[in-house]
């Protein structure tokens, strides 16, 4: 039996980072490579408000039949794609996901973070469920070698029973969505039961058009007794000053993870070598030793692995690794942290009585 070929449409072409006209990372290009690598997908259309971005994307990843649109709704109506990849900024995700589900897409793969508000995140999940569409979010670190290795070691008992996971990064929302997702990945997808958090907003900060905290922390509880601790801050400002005018890589200055068990510790992203090393301290050796990492070696490989998985899951009844069910739980932790800070109270989950973004409410003085 021959494998099906799916038609793919992309919303938000962007430009690869560093290229003229780039406004971000141009994530769509990594998505396109991922679909091409499956051998079961054909790029039929791309929509971007900036026509040269869409044209350049179609020239690079499509063929003579690939259609270019300025209006994504017109594209959905005219091409009725099997799969839609959404690579725009977070404030646009909800309307695009909902429109794709309503246009009959079988699978929708959207960039992270889900959305700037908790209500929009839930609206996307509901729209996909109502339409029977498979919805995924690009938390591609689930496929990256260091994190896969850390989880495997922890699950094999290399540090005894997991007690606490500590994660640090720039912010709760843009990067934090990955770290909350990793926390749930490490605890075996156990739903969190409560969050207590605090944020500081002493400077104006936004990423991809969404206002976020200057610094913060979230303590997350699980029924199993495991605890998560996420600390955030713009490490660029905390880093050593440079005299040549360049900025230090934020992640090199402190984005890391530590898994603490009853008999040992695993660290991912040892200071200064983020994303490259996993080291372990336990009774098997006299000091730290480095673990061999197995999995996708870099960003694009991991994105392609996520896409291969979600394509294979279409119509199979299997839950994709990047499923909306997982994304909604990590997203809940972001908004629960903000709500905890706003209310000065522990938030028991599921997160009720929040529809917007509690940090934005605080910024607005509510």
Chain residues that interact with ligand NAD, rule: CB under 6 A: 11-14, 23-27, 47-50, 53, 72, 87-90, 92, 111-112, 138, 140, 174, 208
Q: How far is the CB of 56 from ligand NAD (least distance, A)?
A: 10
Q: How far is the CB of 242 from ligand NAD (least distance, A)?
A: 24
Nearer to ligand NAD, 155 or 298 (CB): 298
Q: Which residue's C-beta sits nearest to ligand NAD?
A: 24
Nearer to ligand NAD, 38 or 140 (CB): 140
Q: How far is the CB of 48 from ligand NAD (least distance, A)?
A: 4
Q: Among candidates 211, 184, 214, 235, which has minimal Cα distance to 90?
A: 211
CB of 58 closer than 8 Å to CB of 169: no
Q: Among candidates 197, 198, 201, 248, which has minimal Cα distance to 221?
A: 197
3-state helix, strand, coil in the chain (%, to 5): 35, 25, 40
CB of 166 closer than 8 Å to CB of 328: no
Nearer to ligand NAD, 25 or 194 (CB): 25
Nearer to ligand NAD, 141 or 277 (CB): 141
* Residue 321 CB-density burial (10 A; 0-12 exposed, 13-18 middle, 19+ buried): middle
Nearer to ligand NAD, 13 or 103 (CB): 13
> How many helices and strands in the chain, by DSSP H and E?
11, 17
| Residue owning tokens 């998560």 | 228
Q: How far is the CB of 36 from ligand NAD (least distance, A)?
A: 18
Q: How far is the CB of 153 from ligand NAD (least distance, A)?
A: 23
Nearer to ligand NAD, 13 or 58 (CB): 13
Q: How far is the CB of 111 from ligand NAD (least distance, A)?
A: 3
The packing angle between helices 145-155 and 176-186, to 10°, is: 30
């Amino acid at each position: 039996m021959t494998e099906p070929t799916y038609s793919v449409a992309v919303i938000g072409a962007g430009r690869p980072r560093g290229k003229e006209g780039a406004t971000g990372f141009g994530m769509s290009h990594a998505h396109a490579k991922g679909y091409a690598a499956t051998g079961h997908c054909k790029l039929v259309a791309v929509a971007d408000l900036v026509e040269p971005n869409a044209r350049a994307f179609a020239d690079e990843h499509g063929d003579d039949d690939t259609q270019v649109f300025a209006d994504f709704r017109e594209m959905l109506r005219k091409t009725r794609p099997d799969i839609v990849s959404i690579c725009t900024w977070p404030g646009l995700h909800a309307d695009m996901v909902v429109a794709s589900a309503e246009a009959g897409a079988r699978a929708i793969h959207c960039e992270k973070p889900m959305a700037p508000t908790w209500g929009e995140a839930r609206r996307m999940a509901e729209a996909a469920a109502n339409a029977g569409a498979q919805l995924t979010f690009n938390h591609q670190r689930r496929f990256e070698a260091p994190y896969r290795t850390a989880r495997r070691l922890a699950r094999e008992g290399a540090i005894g029973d997991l007690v606490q996971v500590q994660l640090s990064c720039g912010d709760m929302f843009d990067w934090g969505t990955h770290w909350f997702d990793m926390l749930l990945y490490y605890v075996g997808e156990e739903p969190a039961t409560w969050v207590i958090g605090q944020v500081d907003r002493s400077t104006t900060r936004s990423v991809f058009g969404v206002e976020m905290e200057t610094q913060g922390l979230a303590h997350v509880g699980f029924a199993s007794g495991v605890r998560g601790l996420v600390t955030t801050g713009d490490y660029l400002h905390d880093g050593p000053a440079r005299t040549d005018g360049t900025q230090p890589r934020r992640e090199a200055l402190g984005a890391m993870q530590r898994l603490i068990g009853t008999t040992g510790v695993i660290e991912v992203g040892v200071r200064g070598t983020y994303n490259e090393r996993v080291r372990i301290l336990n009774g098997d050796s006299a000091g730290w030793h480095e673990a061999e990492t197995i999995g996708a070696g870099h960003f694009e490989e991991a994105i392609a692995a996520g896409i291969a998985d979600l394509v294979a899951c279409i119509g199979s009844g299997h839950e994709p690794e990047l499923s909306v069910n997982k994304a909604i739980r990590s997203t809940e932790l972001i908004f629960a942290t903000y709500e905890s800070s706003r209310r000065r109270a522990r938030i028991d989950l599921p997160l009720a009585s929040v529809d917007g973004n509690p940090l934005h409410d605080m910024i607005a003085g509510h």
